[in-house]
Amino acid sequence: MARAGRRILAICIDWALCYLIANAFFDGNPNAVLAIFAIEQMLLVGFLGYSVGHRIMGIEVVRLDGRQPSLLDGVIRSLLVCLVFPVIIVDADHRGLHDRAIKSILIRR
């Protein structure tokens, strides 16, 4: 399982990339940063199982049944991540509510 340090660095990498994109195209508008972040998470996690930050940190989102997350899983997880609170409420397995909602876990690859 991916521990908190890798997860935090991954989200910081993703946020920084989204901030750079928003700075380049939307004058750094905070709403644009959040929208780009949400879209990145939805699409990349939904189609590939990992975001750019996840990939750099060597972690991946997998469902507990062993399948790759679906696009719907990516959308649900992304929306919950953007709310922040579901991310910081974790269980003994270090799974936040966003991962529990789609029955997934972040693992090291």
Domain that holds residue 34: 4-108
DSSP 66: S
Task: List per-residue pLDDT tens for the chain, 109 residues long.
Answer: 888 889 999 999 999 999 999 999 999 899 999 999 999 999 999 999 999 999 999 999 999 998 999 999 999 999 999 998 877 888 887 788 899 899 999 999 8
Domain count, the chain: 1
Contacts with 49 (C-beta within 8 Å, 6 or more apart), sequence order: 60, 61, 62, 68, 69
Distance (Å, whole) CA 19 – CA 92: 32
The pLDDT value recorded for residue 10 is 95
Q: Give the global pTM.
A: 0.89
What pLDDT shows up at residue 6? 92
